[in-house]
Amino acid sequence: MSQSLSPGAIIVWETLGTAVLLLLGNGVVANVVLRKNNGFQAGTLFITFGWGFGVFAGASIAAPTGAHLNPAVTLGLAISGKVSWTVVPYYLVGEMLGAILGAVLCWLTYKLQFDDHPNPEETLGIFSTAPQIRNKAWNLVTEIIGTFVLVGWILFNPVYKNASSGPEFGNAALGYAGVAFVVLVIGISLGGPTGYAINPARDLGPRLAYAFLLPIKGKRDPDWGYSWVPVVGPLVGAALAAVVWLGVHNLT
């Protein structure tokens, strides 16, 4: 469907969907981290569910484009031949714009709580990921594996079929809830070491917004030294998933 859309339409739908994803994803972290919130100190599982359902909401909105919302997904689909390389730049533009916009909307929603927070230097974690144990090589491995699972599931996910005996749905019956469940289990199972960016736009867009757009008094530096890990790791993981899919597809 996406290849019949104009470049402008791809940018608009991906911007809207990614903005909602980041608004809800960053928003649930803000709800837990910033004091004087109903969700204050609700915990990691609360955050993980928020991100999972945020994926469902954003993807449902961006359905006309196939709802990539993630440069790693776009790359994996392009390498596997499921999306034309000619539309990839438009997806990337929409995903980055949406990620920045979502971060700004999150800040606007929680503006009073950001102003009240006693440790503003801790607020980067609301917008971007960071490792629990800082070792960039192993942090990269974690992001590669998590994204491999996500993009691999998307590529191998069975499509809807009509069998003579009746409808045969497979995972496709879940629609975008299926990928939301996958993101949820990745967060629960693999998200501990690095915060499971598994999406370059999800991390870099809000990091840019935090650094240059959000007037948070007392905020820390955006940690550019680590910022490449949640960008490169997901892209490598997606490329590996696509290569595996191509190998299996060619065998069958």
Q: Is 6 left (phi over 0), alpha (psi -120 to 50) or beta?
A: beta
Check pLDDT > 60 for residue 2: no
Phi, psi angles (nearest 5°) of residue 108: -60, -40
Tokens at 56, concatenated: 């469902």
Tokens at 128, concatenated: 């971007």
Instruction: Give per-residue pLDDT as tens, 76-89.
Output: 999 999 999 999 99
CA distance 30 to 35: 9
In the chain, DSSP finds a helix count (H) and a strand count (E) of: 11, 2
Asked whether the whole model's pTM tops 0.75, one would answer yes
Tokens at 116, concatenated: 């009240």
Q: What is the number of other CB atoms lying within 10 angstroms of the CB of residue 244?
A: 16
Mean pLDDT of 218-227: 97
Instruction: Give per-residue pLDDT as tens, 228-246.
Output: 999 999 999 999 999 999 9
Are 11 and 90 a contacting pair, CB within 8 Å? yes
What residues pair up with 166 in beta bridges, in sequence order? 163
Check pLDDT > 90 for residue 20: yes
Are 196 and 187 a contacting pair, CB within 8 Å? yes
CA distance 46 to 36: 17
Instruction: Name the pLDDT band for 191 (thresholds 50, 70, 90).
Output: very high
Domains delineated in the chain: 2-251 (1.20.1080.10)
User: Taking CA 17 as the corner, what is the angle to CA 171 and CA 130, rounded to the nearest 5 degrees?
Assistant: 90
Instruction: Give per-residue pLDDT as tens, 27-79.
Output: 999 999 999 999 999 999 999 999 999 999 999 999 999 999 999 999 999 99
What is residue 174's predicted lDDT score, i.e. its pLDDT?
A: 76
Are 82 and 156 a contacting pair, CB within 8 Å? no
CA distance 183 to 180: 5
Tokens at 119, concatenated: 């440790």
